[in-house]
Structure 1
Amino acid sequence: MAQLVITGRIATMANGATEQPARGRVWIDGDRIVAVTRGRKRVTGFSRARTIDVGDALVLPGLLDMHNHLAYNALPLWMEPGRNEPWLHNKHWPDADTYTESITEPAWVYAKACPEALLAYVQVRAMAGGATSVQGWPNANRGYPTVVRNIDSEDAGTGVDNLIYTSVGTKKGEALTIAVRRMGDGSGFIYHCSEGQRGSRVLADYTELERADGLLPTLIGIHCCAVDAADWTKWNDQAAGGVVWSPLSNLVLYGQTTLIDDVRAREIKVCLGSDWGPSGTKNLLGEMKVARIAADHFGYTVTDGDIVEMVTSNPGTLLERCWNRPVGRLVEDGFADVVIIRGRGPGDDWSRIVAAREPDIALVIINGVPRYGDHDLMKDAGATATFSTTIGGRRRRIAVPDPARPEKAWSWKAITDTLDAVQADPQAAIANAQARAATGPRFADDVALELFLDMPDTRRSGRAGPPKNPATVKIPAVPSIEHDAAFFDLLDQSPIQNGVLAPLRGRFLP
């Protein structure tokens, strides 16, 4: 496998943000980091390695997006027309009048008619924000390869894909007992838990976990925004696990968010997740800025260094408990996942990372392979089978393989043309999906790919299924990869967040 040496200002995150970035090198051999050195120190055995010098740019561990629903990320932000009151909880808004037609049906058509193009689009969207690993991949009728690391099924070299279990639905009774037993055996459990307003009924998700002795070091609770200060004290800091914070989604839906200071007081690791297209940011660059805005608004004692930890070393600590291999840190034997960011604006390095926009992502390396970045850096890093497109006003080279010919790059035009064709004619796309499904057995290694949605639809008895009337299905235009004026125009129309998020526009647009 290829060797690569990266020279720049290295933020190892080995001890979080307590150590400032310093000039040095990251030494990569195949899919692992061999060493990280300071100054001019060299490592033997790399005489034939490719080398790149990124100057004053910051070299960080690849960012970890710990909460998403990727099958929905070709959809724009959604607000229920006429709705001014915050939703009570996550069992509430799936019953909205326009939820099925605006979210479930368009996502279902993409997932069935053009799953390969959908997966390509959402992975580019994640990498455009510096992510190398994402949680929240759609299940499928067969396996499918990814270039972005799949947190849900990563085997960390063990050959076992159940190191982490996930659940969007609430666990009760025997199902909850099994989940707690698995955590006791060392598996991680990434759990959508107590998502809603404080005082709402979904607090029971958390209190039932506590009664079942499920507040454990390998629990990673997504949202937990309904948990009040008193209940956070029930999580013993000697068994602290993690919480995934998605503040934009919380504010857009509920008008409030997780009590981050109370979480951190229990030594619980806070991570960030950009969540899905209908109520989330486009990528982690957006969510970091929302974390900054929300922390300032609610008076949380969160620094910019803390926010960088939320997308690197904090989730890395939690995942390493399950994978038994370093991630989220640039350290020996860690995953060779690296992002190079040109810091933006004044302040210290952590502030300049939080302020970074899509044009500031210089290079993304996943498992030792250059996958996304500036043309010259991708070339120097040895990228092969790439296509070119413009994102964030910069020309990019991107290595996403064509599913029909994995040795070749899939063109960005082919990916977006496929999505646009589905959007323009949903009825033809539905017919195409039906034809794909009819080509043979539904579940086999060589059948046409079919993705399954992971979010509920209470208007369909809890199941996100096919359109009841295909003739009426309409799909909104595919949004851009980066945060743009169209995104902020929709965000400004959200009455529930009550203007708290208004500063976000100025942190992305001139």
Structure 2
Amino acid sequence: MQASKRAYRGRVVQMDAAFSVLKDAVIWIEGNRIKAVLDAAATPPQGFEHMTPINTGGTFYPGLIELHNHLGYDILKLWDVPKLYCNRGQWQGSPPYQAGVSGPMGVLGKTPGVAPAIARYTEAKCLMGGTTTSQGITLFSAPGLMRQYRGIVRNVEESLDSTLPDAKARIPDYAAKDKDNFLGYLKDFPCLLMHLSEGIDASARKHFLDLEISPNVWAIAASLTGIHCNALTRKDFDRLAAVRAGMVWSPLSNFMLYGQTADIKSARAAGVRIGLGSDWSPSGSKNLLHELKVVRVVNSVQALGFSDRDIVAMATIVAAGLLRWDRYLGSIEAGKYADLVLVRGKAGDAYEHLLKADETRIDLVVIDGLPRYAIKKLTAGFSGTGEVISFAGETRYLNLDDANADEIVAGLSLKVATKTLSNAMKNLPTLAKKQAKLPPSPLMTMAMDGARRRVFGQGPTPRADWTLVLDQDEPPDENLRPRFDSEAPLPGTIRMSAMPTATKAPAVLKPLELDELTVTGDPGYYPALAGQRNIPQAIKDGLQP
């Protein structure tokens, strides 16, 4: 914990129980906690009497909490989805997906030196969109260890904080194959983020129906937070709501792949708690800030009945509640961790102000009491000079200094990470040919001989060469959803990360361009979105700037 004190003045959208909006207030911070949130005219708290708050001229919100994002893939541009799919299995094993997404990532993720660049780049992408919490990146090393990347943005799967319980995002084989074991697994953890009924056909819904153990007895608990839930009906949502289970909504990705999203009107009517996730850049938003705009457009087009405040809550206090983190995060209140995002300006409705903002309006991001991303006048508190970022006519400073920085990004600037990724993606065909000549990956070898060792929360091995574990493809012994013994055998394409790269990758890969860090800095983003064949036209029209 840092010993420093800070004070920021502006409009404050607290997202507390009363949904207080303070027109002119000061957030007093000591170390990594909020000491007080007081009217600007009030007497400062004890110990801050001689401190002058920084007048930001903006509106503060709790840091945005994202519940679903395959961050490792967020270096890819939007995938030109070739057809309408009905379930996850249809696109995951298709040649176009392998050529445009899984093939390139299979090569890049296993190229020495690229995984650190991916971690640095995608974390910066989160910060520039106001995201302070997201899902993690899993790393693998030659000695046979797997672990979570430890970065600046909070990781729901490994918080490194005893007050913030880790969420689970994968299910071990023993629990995935037996319903009673799965229910027991659910009850052992505060939150399980699980892909649930992704798709629009009967087979997608069957993944939910298979959770029934016996008549009216279900392998569902309050810890379950289903990701996507496209195929669920009102009756299904009632079952989730009855035990206080929740869901993660990723509407843009749903529309791009399936032409429709979850029945959110039924979910809302049932009382299901809803958090948000941008999913990943190949078929989703670049960041959670943009996904909030998608949610607002869908809410209008489909007359879902959410207020702007409801939508902001999905990415703040509701998300924190689903993680069981709401005692410490999700709102701006005394005693909570200081995770903040500042949007330029204070005019108009406070909730609409965030939902209409783009990345050029994000002036400050604070995580655990430390400013990590800021305009020049708000860089006080940076431990160094900060790395300069320029986009869309704007300049920002990135504070990457961290005494506890993960070894893989120690000393790695965003500039160098960007160059590394750009070069690797341009040289994909060459890298693919080199990897095709290599022996099977260590993951494959360990899966075959049963010698796989899995270690989380343990320090990195000296001189380990860390590469990327692709979480859209399932490693050995783990599952993104239950697969009970009664289910039909899975197609062999599912556990692709356990296969050697040469088997997994298409014969020919083309050079790719690195995805831009922001929507506003990417002139090709909205034309690419408009060209997506599955997104309803009314949604496309509503998203155009």
1:195 CA drift (Å): 0.8
> Residue 145 in 1 paired to residue 181 in 2?
no
Match of 2:26 in 1: 25
Which of 299, 320, 344 is the aligned partner of 2:303? 299
Distance 1:205 1:136, change over 3 A: farther
Structure 2 residue ranges without an equivalent (≥5)? 141-145, 443-451, 475-490
Per-residue CA distance 1:145-193 (angstroms, 9 max, x = gap): 20111111114335xx973211389997545534422332452111110
Match for 1:473: what amino acid? L
Distance 1:117 1:137, change over 3 A: same
> Residue 267 in 1 paired to residue 271 in 2?
yes
SS in 1 for 2:239: coil
Is contact 1:120-1:415 (8 Å) kept?
A: yes
Tell me the number of residue pairs that the alignment of Structure 1 and Structure 2 aligns.
491
Match of 2:387 in 1: 387
Distance 1:399 1:475, change over 3 A: farther
1:93 CA drift (Å): 1.0
Distance 1:202 1:470, change over 3 A: closer
Match of 1:220 in 2: 225
Is contact 1:6-1:27 (8 Å) kept?
A: yes
> Residues of 2 paired with 1:399 and 1:246: CA distance?
29
Distance 1:347 1:385, change over 3 A: closer
Which of 474, 480, 485 is the aligned partner of 2:523? 485
1:256 CA drift (Å): 1.1
> Residue 314 in 1 paired to residue 318 in 2?
yes
Is contact 1:167-1:192 (8 Å) kept?
A: no
Match for 1:314: what amino acid? V
SS in 2 for 1:362: strand
1:504 CA drift (Å): 4.7
> Residues of 1 paired with 2:326 and 2:66: CA distance?
19
Match of 2:190 in 1: 187
> Residues of 2 paired with 1:503 and 1:286: CA distance?
15
> Residues of 2 paired with 1:135 and 1:142: CA distance?
13
Match of 1:340 in 2: 342
Match of 2:288 in 1: 284
Match for 2:129: what amino acid? G
Distance 1:177 1:54, change over 3 A: farther
SS in 1 for 2:210: helix
Match for 2:541: what amino acid? P
1:367 CA drift (Å): 1.2
> Residues of 1 paired with 2:153 and 2:431: CA distance?
27
Match of 1:77 in 2: 78
Distance 1:156 1:98, change over 3 A: same
> Residue 252 in 1 paired to residue 289 in 2?
no
Distance 1:174 1:460, change over 3 A: closer
1:280 CA drift (Å): 0.3
Match for 1:36: what amino acid? V
> Residues of 2 paired with 1:95 and 1:48: CA distance?
62
Match of 1:101 in 2: 99
> Residue 206 in 1 paired to residue 204 in 2?
no
1:313 CA drift (Å): 0.9
Match of 2:421 in 1: 419
Is contact 2:429-2:511 (8 Å) kept?
A: no
TM (norm. structure 1) is 0.87
Match of 2:360 in 1: 359
Distance 1:8 1:175, change over 3 A: farther
Match for 1:15: what amino acid? A
Match for 2:421: what amino acid? L
Moved more, 443-452 or 250-259: 443-452
Moved more, 169-178 or 268-277: 169-178
Match of 1:133 in 2: 133
1:381 CA drift (Å): 3.6
Moved more, 297-306 or 131-140: 131-140
1:277 CA drift (Å): 1.2
> Residues of 2 paired with 1:178 and 1:50: CA distance?
56
1:493 CA drift (Å): 1.7
1:330 CA drift (Å): 1.1
Structure 1 residue ranges without an equivalent (≥5)? none
Matches within 5 A, 1:8-47: 8-15=10-17, 18-41=19-42, 42-47=44-49
1:142 CA drift (Å): 4.1
Distance 1:92 1:169, change over 3 A: farther
1:53 CA drift (Å): 1.8
Match for 1:19: what amino acid? S
SS in 2 for 1:98: helix
> Residues of 1 paired with 2:252 and 2:378: CA distance?
32
1:138 CA drift (Å): 3.0
Is contact 1:170-1:193 (8 Å) kept?
A: no
Distance 1:353 1:347, change over 3 A: same
> Residues of 1 paired with 2:182 and 2:153: CA distance?
27
1:485 CA drift (Å): 3.0
Is contact 1:94-1:459 (8 Å) kept?
A: no
Match of 1:463 in 2: 496
Percent identical among aligned pairs is 28
Match of 1:89 in 2: 87
Distance 1:168 1:227, change over 3 A: farther
> Residue 451 in 1 paired to residue 468 in 2?
yes
> Residues of 2 paired with 1:414 and 1:48: CA distance?
41
1:265 CA drift (Å): 2.2
SS in 1 for 2:422: helix
Distance 1:241 1:231, change over 3 A: closer
> Residue 229 in 1 paired to residue 231 in 2?
no
> Residues of 2 paired with 1:106 and 1:99: CA distance?
10
Is contact 1:130-1:364 (8 Å) kept?
A: yes
Distance 1:8 1:267, change over 3 A: same
1:243 CA drift (Å): 1.1
Per-residue CA distance 1:247-268 (angstroms, 9 max, x = gap): 1001111111112222122322
TM (norm. structure 2) is 0.82
Distance 1:31 1:224, change over 3 A: same
Moved more, 148-157 or 358-367: 148-157
Distance 1:146 1:179, change over 3 A: farther
Is contact 1:289-1:504 (8 Å) kept?
A: no
